[in-house]
């Protein structure tokens, strides 16, 4: 009996030791205290002094890690510096680098099996890998970018080959996987992925859907090419916004002819869209601004960078300082997987970016030889062969689980949507060399040199802001802007059977939105329309974000003529909102008007009193912002009811189909417009009826759902929180429900799901010695158990920045602030 | 006078479990225990092997605790597996003990039945 028990037990133990059982990985290697997760936890603490020999190095490289976990890399040449960077980024972020690469390449099934097949298919159909491989093949082998990504890959692979079992990141153990070798082209994969996140603009979907419901004239007014409120990046002659309101045509008969097109585009964009289904534009966005010496307290140029991206643990950024003797001295953040600093500063210049959001992708309806498995497409009356790429999807064991053929026209990848073969043209597919652009920024001696380096930058289009020690500030929306034939707009599906539909060129750099040292003494961008169309009518995109954040930054900067770095820091989390400043008076006026007409009641009066007492600031302990936001939701639901499927109950995702809030402001000028009528009631409402009804309904709803307005459930901190998920969305490795300051359209907007936000905050003062302060949510280490995994989170939450160490050499670093030193020597 | 021999034996065997785990991996535990089962004449050799394996892995585990954030890893991994961290620690230490006990129990009987 005892032996039988031992036999069964041993078999069971060996089984769970060697084999994964359901989601539980093999427990033997996982729990092994010498080589498993416990040892890995110990291995996240690096030795104080360590020397590693590395193939490919030409000279010794010293890497000093400061007490913020930032590596200061001291090398004799750039290749050695980037090889070292590859090694240390792999040591800190290996799993993240591979996860990003697999997501872009559509190779997640090799980790997780068929459940991710649809996601992999979508990614491969985008042609990001196809484009990255083309770019890599044509890359100038002597360019700084090519040499850097080659050296970087060598460093990553050096680390992988030297890894001990205990160094294996916990995620690999949970997935029962091992790291793959790093190829240089993977750096380009990542940049392609960023282009998808930032350079894919499909505003047309919402306009076409609206057109199918309310006709073309109304749809064009609701989703216009140009913003009715102009506060552009290229400053106006006055720094005040320009209001360019027009009459919004009344809703007309549905135009069913475009419904199929809308659905086709929606089907395409569903898997690609930057915005998540419940996110609205007022919940996302990046900011940057710079101040001239004449408006800075210390008389030095100041620059603030605040790019907002999907928040994740580990962070999308990795902070570094790279010194190449006598050549390069640059600090800031870059993307793990891509060598070098993307946003940062050197001894003379500081720079940062926000997304321009221009329209750089178009669709073409192609004529093909066969509806199923086509091999040719028609162009100018002739059949042309389709480039075909066979895509195999494998599971964790390497077994092929699916095979697809991706077809390409000369424009880009083609796929079938609702009975149409649509090909996509996108600047991501064009030849470019973004690594060169980013790496060369570190060498710039002044703003002019910096701008010159960005002149041939392609994608994603970025509002690049730069300031230098000579006191110059400049901004330019850089990137490739295609010129289309005909009316030049990119928000239609064009006929693919003729080259006459193709792009006919690109804007020259001198036509890019641009400003340098403006009279107002500051520059700012926040994803708004970059240039007033009265100044430059070139089509850059449509359906721009409402410029609330831009208006607020401009207002803050106008009001402060002696700006300090600490002011810049405080602005980044300023809880004020131009959107609230604009809309609250409308609500209060409507409530008063209804009251004076004798149609009010106690609930509306109480709601108006509560809103009147709000200081229009989204701080965590505020109890009134929740009422305003609920009223804004009610207002949109009631006003834009024509844009909703009447058969469905209103939901949060409907907001995706509603116009920008700036269109609502435009509509406010027409108090009796047909748009104000709520079709669910028998009477005909006007503007004030809807505003007051929305406010009242919001109050009643909150009273019912969250109780007494004096209670803690009305606190803003209970409403908006950041949710920073681990890349595998494992809650135990994530930072969830983090209360943050800010609300929709504040400079630090918090989104509905809390998964977007400030990914890196930086302030730089360009004085005789450059000084910088910065933070990002998370920490330098990608190991969830490491003390450096979330060590910056608390400061980020509270809007605090760390002073950035920027020593000229290793000896200049205070010994008390040095945590470890890694010396890499040639093998 | 205390007989130190069993104590020394225990320490050596525990050390052997730790060293082979470090050098070869977790699967060396049943192998070492099986060899122990073959060479030992003690009536309680299976229990002895189990306790030595427990001791060896406890030593390694405590070294990890001393060097890094094992508690953080425990709570995170427990979160992933829906287990309390304590359960994982306990399983980590019981796992080699059970492996060793089973192997040390089975191997001598296999040999004797073969003979």
Q: What is the pLDDT of residues A621-655, one digit of tens each?
A: 999 999 999 999 999 999 999 998 777 777 777 77
Q: How far apart are CA A594 and CA A688, in angstroms?
A: 7
Q: How far apart are CA B110 and CA B47, in angstroms?
A: 18
Which contacts of A792-795 are long-range, i.e. CB under 8 A and separated by 24 or more positions?
A: A792/A68, A793/A724, A793/A735, A793/A738
Q: How far apart are CA A675 and CA A660, in angstroms?
A: 15
Q: How far apart are CA A673 and CA A670, in angstroms?
A: 5
B26 to chain A: which residues are within 8 Å by CB? 17, 28-29, 31-32, 35-36
Quick one: angle between helices B5-23 and B85-114, nearest 10?
Answer: 110
The pLDDT score that the predictor gives to residue A277 is 43
How many Cβ contacts (< 8 angstroms) between chains A and B?
120
Helix (H, G, I), strand (E, B) or coil at A301: strand
The pLDDT score that the predictor gives to residue A463 is 97
Q: How far apart are CA B31 and CA A606, in angstroms?
A: 77
Residue pair B52/B17 in contact by the 8 Å Cβ criterion? yes
Dihedral sign, Cα of residue A419, residue A421, residue A425, residue A431: positive
Residue A388 predicted with pLDDT over 50: yes
Pick from B28, B29, B57, B106 the residue to mutate for testing the A interface (most A CBs within 10 Å): B106
Q: What is the mean pLDDT of residues A774-785?
A: 97
The pLDDT score that the predictor gives to residue A273 is 38
Closest CB to B73: pick one of A14, A28, A785: A785
Percentage with pLDDT > 90 across chain A: 82
Helix (H, G, I), strand (E, B) or coil at A614: coil
Q: Of chain B residues 52-81, which have a CB less than 8 A from chain A?
A: 57, 60-61, 63-65, 67-70, 72-73, 75-81
Backbone phi, psi, residue A463, to 5°: -85, 95
Q: How far apart are CA A611 and CA A631, in angstroms?
A: 10
Element (H, E) at A191: helix A185-199
Q: ipTM for the complex? A: 0.94
Cα–chain-centroid distance for residue A404? 30
Q: Which is higher by pLDDT, A752 or A467? A: A467
Q: How far apart are CA A255 and CA A214, in angstroms?
A: 7
Cα dist from A315 to A445, A498, A703, whole Å: 30, 45, 38
Least confident of A65-79, A236-250, A288-302, A555-569: A236-250
Q: How far apart are CA A617 and CA A623, in angstroms?
A: 10
Q: A47 touching B, CB under 8 A?
A: no
Give the list of residues 6+ apart from residue A87 with CB closer than 8 angstroms, or none: A52, A54, A155, A156, A158, A159, A824
Q: B20 touching A, CB under 8 A?
A: no
Q: How far apart are CA A619 and CA A624, in angstroms?
A: 10
Closest CA to A368 of A425, A405, A423: A423
The pLDDT score that the predictor gives to residue A13 is 96
Q: Which is higher by pLDDT, A274 or A23? A: A23
Q: A779 touching B, CB under 8 A?
A: no
Cα dist from B86 to A29, B50, B69, B75, B83, whole Å: 19, 20, 15, 8, 8
Q: How far apart are CA A478 and CA A437, in angstroms?
A: 11
Residue of chain B whose Cα is closest to the Cα of A12: B99
For residue A276, name the pLDDT band (cuts at 50, 70, 90): very low
Cα–chain-centroid distance for residue A103? 16
Relative to beta strand A522-525, strand A287-291 is: antiparallel
Give the list of residues 6+ apart from residue A472 with CB closer than 8 angstroms, or none: A301, A446, A447, A448, A466, A516, A517
The DSSP bridge partners found for residue A51 are A823
Residue pair A233/A524 in contact by the 8 Å Cβ criterion? yes
Give per-residue pLDDT as tens, A163-219.
999 999 999 999 999 999 999 999 999 999 888 877 666 667 778 888 888 999 999
Closest CB to A10: pick one of B30, B68, B91: B30
Residue A235 predicted with pLDDT over 50: yes
Question: Distance, in angstroms, between B8 CA and closest chain A CA?
Answer: 23
Q: A35 touching B, CB under 8 A?
A: yes
Residue pair A489/A519 in contact by the 8 Å Cβ criterion? no
Residue A17 predicted with pLDDT over 80: yes
Cα–chain-centroid distance for residue A21? 37
The pLDDT score that the predictor gives to residue A267 is 62
Relative to beta strand A413-417, strand A420-426 is: antiparallel
Element (H, E) at A621: none
Considering the entire predicted model, what is its pTM?
A: 0.94
- A412 conformational bin, left if phi > 0, alpha if psi -120 to 50, beta if neither: left
Give per-residue pLDDT as tens, A418-474.
788 999 999 999 999 999 999 999 999 999 999 999 999 999 999 999 999 999 999
Write the DSSP string, A353-409.
EEE-----EEEEEPPBS-SSS--EEEETTEEEEPEEEEEEEE-TTS-EEEEEEEEE-
Q: How far apart are CA A411 and CA A176, in angstroms?
A: 40
> Could you tell me where the DSSP H helices lie in A64-127?
78-105, 109-112, 117-125
Residue of chain A whose Cα is closest to the Cα of B90: A31
Helix (H, G, I), strand (E, B) or coil at A416: strand
Give per-residue pLDDT as tens, A316-363.
999 999 999 999 999 999 999 999 999 999 999 999 999 998 989 888
Closest CA to A159 of A222, A212, A217, A85: A85
- Give the CA dihedral A228, A234, A238, A240, nearest 10 degrees: 50
- Mean pLDDT, chain A, rounded, equals 93
Residues found in chain A: 827
Give the list of residues 6+ apart from residue A73 with CB closer than 8 angstroms, or none: A61, A62, A63, A81, A84, A85, A88, A320, A321, A322, A323
């Amino acid at each position: 009996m005892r032996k039988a028990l031992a036999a069964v037990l041993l078999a069971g133990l060996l089984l769970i030791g060697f084999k994964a059982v359901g989601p539980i990985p093999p427990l033997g290697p996982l729990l092994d205290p010498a080589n498993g997760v416990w040892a890995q936890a110990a291995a996240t603490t690096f030795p104080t002094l360590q020397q590693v020999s590395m193939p490919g190095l030409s000279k010794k490289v010293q890497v000093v890690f400061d007490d913020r976990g930032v590596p200061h890399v001291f090398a004799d040449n750039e290749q050695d510096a980037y090889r070292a960077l590859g090694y240390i980024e792999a040591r800190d972020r290996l799993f993240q680098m591979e996860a990003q690469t697999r997501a872009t390449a559509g190779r997640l099934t090799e980790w997780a099996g068929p459940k991710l097949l649809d996601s992999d298919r979508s990614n491969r159909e985008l042609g990001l890998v196809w484009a990255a491989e083309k770019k890599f093949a044509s890359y100038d082998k002597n360019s700084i970018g090519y040499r850097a990504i080659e050296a970087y890959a060598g460093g990553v692979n050096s680390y992988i080959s030297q890894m001990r079992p205990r160094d294996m990141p916990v995620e690999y153990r949970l997935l029962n996987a091992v790291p793959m070798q790093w190829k240089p082209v993977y750096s380009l994969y990542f940049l392609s992925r960023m282009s998808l996140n930032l350079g894919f603009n499909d505003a047309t979907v919402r306009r076409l859907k609206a057109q199918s419901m309310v006709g073309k004239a109304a749809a064009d007014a609701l989703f216009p090419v140009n913003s009715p409120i102009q506060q552009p990046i290229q400053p106006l002659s006055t720094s005040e916004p320009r209001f360019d309101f027009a009459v919004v045509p009344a809703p007309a008969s549905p135009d069913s002819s475009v419904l199929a097109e809308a659905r086709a585009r929606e089907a395409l964009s569903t898997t690609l869209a930057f915005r998540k289904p419940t996110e609205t534009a007022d919940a996302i966005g990046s900011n940057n601004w710079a101040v001239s010496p004449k408006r800075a307290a210390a008389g030095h140029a100041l620059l603030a960078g605040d790019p907002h991206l999907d928040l994740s643990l580990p962070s999308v950024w990795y902070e570094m300082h790279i010194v190449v003797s006598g050549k390069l001295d640059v600090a800031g953040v870059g993307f793990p997987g891509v060598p070098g600093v993307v946003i940062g500063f050197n001894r003379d210049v500081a720079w940062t970016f926000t997304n321009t959001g221009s329209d750089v992708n178009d669709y073409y309806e192609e004529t093909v030889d066969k509806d199923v498995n086509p091999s040719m497409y028609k162009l100018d009356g002739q059949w042309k062969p389709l480039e075909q790429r066979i895509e195999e999807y494998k599971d964790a064991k390497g077994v092929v689980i699916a095979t697809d053929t991706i077809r390409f026209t000369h424009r880009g990848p083609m796929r079938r949507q609702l009975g149409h073969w649509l090909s996509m043209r996108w600047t991501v597919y064009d030849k470019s060399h973004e690594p060169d652009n980013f790496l060369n920024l570190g060498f710039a001696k002044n703003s002019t040199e910096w701008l010159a380096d960005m002149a041939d930058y392609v994608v994603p289009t970025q509002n690049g802001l730069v300031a230098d020690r000579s006191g110059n500030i400049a901004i330019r929306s850089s990137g490739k802007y295609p010129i289309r034939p005909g009316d030049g707009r990119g928000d239609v599906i064009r006929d693919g059977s003729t080259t006459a539909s193709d792009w006919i060129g690109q804007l020259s750099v001198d036509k890019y939105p641009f400003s340098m040292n403006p009279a107002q003494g500051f520059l700012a961008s926040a994803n708004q329309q970059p240039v007033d169309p009265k100044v430059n009518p070139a089509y850059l995109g449509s359906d721009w974000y409402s410029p609330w954040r831009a208006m607020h930054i401009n207002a803050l900067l106008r009001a402060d003529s002696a700006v300090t770095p600490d002011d810049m820091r405080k602005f980044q989390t300023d809880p004020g909102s131009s959107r609230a400043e604009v809309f609250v008076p409308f609500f209060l006026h409507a409530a008063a008007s209804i009251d004076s007409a004798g149609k009010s009641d106690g609930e509306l009066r109480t709601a108006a009193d509560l809103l009147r007492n709000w200081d229009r600031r989204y701080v965590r302990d505020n109890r009134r912002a929740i009422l305003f936001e609920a009223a804004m939701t009610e207002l949109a639901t009631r006003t834009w009811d024509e844009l909703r499927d009447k058969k469905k109950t209103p939901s949060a995702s409907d907001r995706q189909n509603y116009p920008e809030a700036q269109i609502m402001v435009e509509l406010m000028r027409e108090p009796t417009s047909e748009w104000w009528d709520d079709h669910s009631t028998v009477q005909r409402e006007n503007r004030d009826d809807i505003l007051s009804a929305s406010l009242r309904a919001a109050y009643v709803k909150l009273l019912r759902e969250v109780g007494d307005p004096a209670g803690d459930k009305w606190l803003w901190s209970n409403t908006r929180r950041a949710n920073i998920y681990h890349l595998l969305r494992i809650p135990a490795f994530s930072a969830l429900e983090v209360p943050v300051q800010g609300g929709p359209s504040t400079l630090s907007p918090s989104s509905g799901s809390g998964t977007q936000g400030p990914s890196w905050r930086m302030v730089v003062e360009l004085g005789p010695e450059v000084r910088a302060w910065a933070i990002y949510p998370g920490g330098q280490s990608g190991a969830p158990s490491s003390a450096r995994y979330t060590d910056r989170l608390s400061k980020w939450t509270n809007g605090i920045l760390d002073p950035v160490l920027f020593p000229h050499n290793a000896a200049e670093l205070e010994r008390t602030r040095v945590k470890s030193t890694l010396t890499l020597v040639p093998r | 006078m205390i007989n130190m021999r069993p104590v020394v034996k225990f320490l050596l065997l525990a050390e052997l479990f730790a060293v082979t785990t470090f050098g070869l991996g977790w699967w060396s535990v049943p192998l070492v225990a099986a060899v122990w089962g073959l060479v030992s004449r003690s009536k309680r050799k299976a229990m002895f092997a189990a306790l030595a394996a427990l001791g060896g892995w406890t030593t390694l585990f405590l070294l990890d605790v001393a060097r890094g954030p094992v508690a953080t890893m425990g709570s995170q991994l427990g979160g992933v597996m829906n287990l309390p961290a304590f359960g994982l620690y306990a399983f980590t230490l019981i796992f080699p003990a059970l492996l060793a006990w089973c192997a040390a129990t089975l191997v001598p009987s296999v040999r004797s039945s073969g003979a």
